[in-house]
Amino acid sequence: MTSIVIPAHNEGRVIGRLLDALLADSADGSDIVVVCNGCTDDTAEVAGARGPRVRVVDIPTPSKHTALRVGDEHARGFPRLYVDADVVLGADGVRALVAALDGTPEFLAAAPGRDIPLAGCAWPVRAYYRVWQRLPAVREGLFGRGVIAVTEAGHARIAALPPLMADDLAASLAFGRGERTVVESARVVVHPPRTWSDLVKRKVRAATSSAELEHVQAPQAPQAPQPQQPQAPQSTHAAPSARTGTADLRALLRADPRLLPEVVVFVVAALAARRGSRKAIRDGDFSTWLRDESSRQDTGSA
């Protein structure tokens, strides 16, 4: 049986649209577990109103990492999907992801193709995403989609990860290219921020969480060798990364020089995020979650 784990913190405005999409096909028998973590709104009530196929677990701790682990304790099978409450994925997308994992034993993890509806977003936001969606790491990685599906072996890989703000990025980088796949026939709708200020909030969070991940990945200083004990050679391989480099942006401009205004906006957003994340990184504050609310407006999900 396929299990779907949905961590949700104060997502009463949006979780209904996700659950309605997952439940639209009555023939789909996926096990759905919603873990309401530290909610102060009606998330649990909205989820519980969707009927017996949705099991709601309510915990007091507002922690996505804890919610995911609690969801694992209640989930019944594999492949297992972890789905953010603010995206929209249908039952047909679930089936496509499961088929990809079942059909190719080498794949341990999969994610759907993403659709980002930009209508109603400010021009700088639209410009930013026109560049972001073209970046190789963004096209090939499993992050930034709000959905990751894993086999039982893939689950063991991500369950060993430490608690991180950049949980989807860490999960994506935990798998090599031959172990993960993006299933374009499965589609997820990822609602973007509508305003420039909310975009910058999201990018500050991404910059902060990326710094935390790189700190965790950094090799520890080697211990002084003990007498008569040979020292193991140090690895020369860099930790995997999804950071955007200037070479990526130059390649985009060579392919399409008309993207220059959008690339300028992208760079400005990156610089604003770097500046905005400095204090949190300096203080080691990797728990303050800057959430944009503009992507959660006018959903009609109740």
249-277 tens-digit pLDDT: 999 999 999 999 999 999 999 999 999 98
Q: Which of 194-198, 217-221, 231-235 has the lowest mean pLDDT?
A: 231-235
CB-based contacts of 284: which residues, under 8 Å, 6+ apart?
none
Q: Which two tokens stand for residue 114?
A: 């993403």
Report which of 206, 177, 191, 173 is spatially closest to residue 273, judged by C-alpha positions: 206
Q: Report angle CA 219, 239, 270 to the nearest 5 degrees.
A: 110
Cα 44 to chain centroid distance, Å, stands at 22
Higher-confidence position of 104 and 285? 104
Position 233 scores a pLDDT of 40
Q: Which of 18-27, 72-81, 90-99, 163-172 has the lowest mean pLDDT?
A: 163-172
Say yes or no to pLDDT of 231 above 50: no
Q: Which two tokens stand for residue 233?
A: 């050679």
Q: Which two tokens stand for residue 4?
A: 């779907």
Question: What does the pLDDT average to over 83-110?
Answer: 97
Position 288 scores a pLDDT of 65
Q: Which CATH architecture has domain 3-120+140-193?
A: Alpha-Beta Complex (3.90)
| Longest Cα–Cα distance in the chain | 70
Question: pLDDT (tens digit, 9 = 90+) per residue, 137-184?
Answer: 999 999 999 999 999 999 999 999 887 766 888 899 999 999 999 999
Kindly indicate the confidence band of residue 289, based on its pLDDT and cuts at 50, 70 and 90: low
Average pLDDT, the chain: 88
Say yes or no to pLDDT of 227 above 60: no
Kindly indicate the confidence band of residue 234, based on its pLDDT and cuts at 50, 70 and 90: very low
Say yes or no to pLDDT of 239 above 60: no
Angstrom distances, CA of residue 41 to CA of 82, 191, 236, 284: 22, 21, 49, 29
Structural domain boundaries of the chain? 3-120+140-193
Phi-psi region of 25 (alpha: psi -120 to 50; beta: other; left: phi over 0): beta
- Contact present, 57 and 33 (Cβ < 8 Å): yes
- Contact present, 276 and 200 (Cβ < 8 Å): yes
Q: What percent of the chain has pLDDT over 90?
A: 70
Position 236 scores a pLDDT of 38
d(CA 157, CA 151): 10
- Contact present, 16 and 46 (Cβ < 8 Å): yes
d(CA 290, CA 296): 14
In terms of residues, how long is the chain?
302
Q: What is the pTM for the complete model shown? A: 0.87
Q: Which two tokens stand for residue 8?
A: 């949700």
